[in-house]
Structures are given as C-alpha cells and as structure tokens.
C-alpha cells in the first residue's frame, strides 16, 4: 500500500469522512459524513466537520451502535481497498479494546439475567400485562 509523502499531504489533504470510508468504518461516504455531523465521530476528542483534514498520529473516536472505538491514525488513504489494507490505516488503543471487551461481557451477562420469553404473549396475556402496567402508574 502506498503512503502519501509529506509534500502530497499539503497539496491534497484527506477529508475525515473520506478517510473513515476508506478505513471501512462506514459503508458509504454519505453515512460517514452524517456520523461526523451528528457527533458520533470525534477528532482529537472534539466534534468536527466532515471536511476536516486528517493527520497521521491523530486520535479519532468512532461510535458504531453501542461500541465506541478509540483509534490512532497510522496512514492516510482516499481510496477504499480491501479490509486487510484498511486495517493498516489505523490502530485501536489498548484502553479502547479493554473497555469494549468489558462492555460486551457486561451486555452478555445482562442478557443472561433477563431472558426473553419463548413466545409472544397471546391476547389474554397482553391484556394482563397492560393491566399490570396501568396499576404501577
């Protein structure tokens, strides 16, 4: 994979939304742009615009569903390549990996403690549930 030289970076900086798309965090540039605009992506712990220039060594916080990843930019790219090449563009911090695994374990334990019913409630059971809920209020 070719890395841009410092002279190319000055002439043609990589946009944040384009880099997120090239690094395969989002399927389309439009989705990447909307995630940056809504604050789901932070550049160096600050809310930014999709047109923000990405620099090597910057820290980006990406929220995908319930998971939050903190990554460091290792290389720049404006083209979307294979997943193995995209993984060379960034490195997730050890703290982020640790937090994500702990949260995943917590979600799994919480799911096991609150099992879902095997079937949907029938009409009579739904009425009973509604009655119970109205009594609490």
**For all residues of the chain together, what is the average pLDDT?**
87
Q: Are 107 and 66 in contact (CB under 8 A)?
A: yes
- Average pLDDT, integer, range 106-130: 87
Q: Domain residues of the chain, as ranges? A: 6-101
Question: Which residues 6+ apart lie within 8 Å of 110 measured at CB?
Answer: none
The CATH code for residues 6-101 is: 3.10.290.10
Interatomic CA distance for residues 30 and 36, integer angstroms: 10
- 137 falls in which pLDDT band (50, 70, 90)? low
Q: What is the pLDDT of residues 34-58, one digit of tens each?
A: 999 999 999 999 999 999 999 999 9
Q: What is the pLDDT of residues 5-16, one digit of tens each?
A: 443 444 578 999
Interatomic CA distance for residues 64 and 71, integer angstroms: 13
φ and ψ of 25, to 5 deg: -80, -30
The strand pairing partners of 69, in sequence order, are 62
Closest CA to 105 of 67, 70, 71, 69: 67
pTM: predicted TM-score of the whole model, two decimal places: 0.72
């Amino acid at each position: 994979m070719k890395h841009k030289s410092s002279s190319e970076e000055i002439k043609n900086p990589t946009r944040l939304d384009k880099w997120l798309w090239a690094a395969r965090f989002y399927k389309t540039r439009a989705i990447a742009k909307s995630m940056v605009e809504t604050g789901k992506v932070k550049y160096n712990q600050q809310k930014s615009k999709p047109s923000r220039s990405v620099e090597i060594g910057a820290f980006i916080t990406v929220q995908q569903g319930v998971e939050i990843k903190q990554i460091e930019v290792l290389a720049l790219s404006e083209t979307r390549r294979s997943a193995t090449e995209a993984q060379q563009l960034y490195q997730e911090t050890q703290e982020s990996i640790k937090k994500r695994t702990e949260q995943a374990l917590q979600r799994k334990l919480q799911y096991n403690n609150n099992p879902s019913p095997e079937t949907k409630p029938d009409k009579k059971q739904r009425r009973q549930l509604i009655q119970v809920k109205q009594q609490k209020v």
